[in-house]
Amino acid sequence: MSLMTLRERSRLPSAAELDGILWLGTLSSSHRRLAAGAMRVVQADPGEVLCRTGRPAVYWFGVVDGLLKMSSDACDGGAPLTFTGVPPGAWFGEGTLLKGEAYRYNIEALRRSVVAGIPVEVFHELLAHSLPFNRFVVNQLNERLGQFIAAREIDRIHDPDSRVARNLAALFHPVLYPGVGEMLRITQQELGYLVGLSRQRVNEALRTLQAQQLIRIEYGGVRVLDLPGLRTYAPADRMSSGPQRVAT
């Protein structure tokens, strides 16, 4: 569906949705009213694109619920490159708004997701007059820089188990994705889209990571047990005995 269709379907956020946006609670009452009054929320269906490469950036977006994918268009006949997943609690696009550029990436819903947006004019108004908002945005940019440096390292890893471990760790970032907590709702197929592996190979990697007590596979998602271990996982960490088979 088109971006205009998403706009037409948008609505004001509920009180519960506003309460779940942590940075709103750091603002003064007047700035909170400004942000909440301008914010719109929309439900995006799987495959719908909220941001498309080359289009002007008009909103600062946040994920209330669901899972999005950030990717580039295919180049020279190759496959599109997936940069990262965007889980609940994430706000993104501030760099593009600050530079006044068009989007250099696509944001697509992997599952039915609820996404909030603040108009670019309100984003800059808050940036100009709210110190807490400034701190939040600067912290976002700093953490995101570290995230993309790590993503470059992941791109050079050819071991599938390590790729799954490092990508999972990125999705459990406590600052960028505070809505995830210790349990990420994600299917093996969705994780495969993000990592660039088949569902079957992702299943095998998850079983390996679970056998090493780094994660626990639960109904509807994955629970992290050892986040530092996921971030530093390497093939040499594997146990001498093969991973036990678990239900999927």
pLDDT, mean of residues 18-40:
96
Q: Beta 106-109 vs 68-71: how paired, if at all? A: antiparallel
Mean pLDDT score across all residues of the chain: 86
Question: Can you read off the two tokens belonging to residue 230?
Answer: 């996921």
pLDDT, mean of residues 40-47:
94
- Position 182 scores a pLDDT of 86
**Amino acid found at 138:** V
pTM: 0.81
Q: Beta 183-185 vs 215-218: how paired, if at all? A: unpaired
* CA 210/CA 223 separation, integer angstroms: 10
- Position 178 scores a pLDDT of 87
* CA 235/CA 96 separation, integer angstroms: 37
- Position 150 scores a pLDDT of 67
**How many CB atoms lie under 10 A from the CB of residue 209?**
28
Secondary structure of residue 168 in the 3-state scheme: helix
pLDDT, mean of residues 19-31:
96
Which burial class, exposed, middle or buried, applies to 164 when counting CB atoms under 10 A from its CB (0-12, 13-18, 19+)?
buried
Delineate the domains of the chain, giving CATH numbers in brackets: 3-151 (2.60.120.10), 158-237 (1.10.10.10)
- Position 248 scores a pLDDT of 40
pLDDT, mean of residues 49-59:
92
Distance of CA 228 to the CA centre of its chain: 19
- Position 82 scores a pLDDT of 75
Residue 115 and residue 64 in contact, taking contact as beta carbons nearer than 8 Å: yes
Which of 6-10, 44-48, 214-218 is predicted least confidently? Answer: 6-10
53-82 burial, b if ≥16 CB within 10 A, otherwise e?
eeeebbbbbbbbbbbbbbbeeeeeeeeeeb
Kindly report, residue by residue over 57-109, the tens digit of the pLDDT: 999 999 999 999 988 876 555 566 777 889 999 999 999 999 999 998 899 99
Question: Going by C-beta distance under 8 Å and a sequence separation of 6 or more, which residues neighbour residue 77?
Answer: none
Which one has a higher pLDDT value, 75 or 50? 50
Residue 50 and residue 68 in contact, taking contact as beta carbons nearer than 8 Å: yes
Kindly report, residue by residue over 146-193, the tens digit of the pLDDT: 777 666 666 666 788 988 998 899 888 888 898 888 899 999 999 998
Measure the CA angle with vertex 5, ends 184 and 178; round to 5°.
20
- Position 247 scores a pLDDT of 39
Residue 50 and residue 62 in contact, taking contact as beta carbons nearer than 8 Å: no
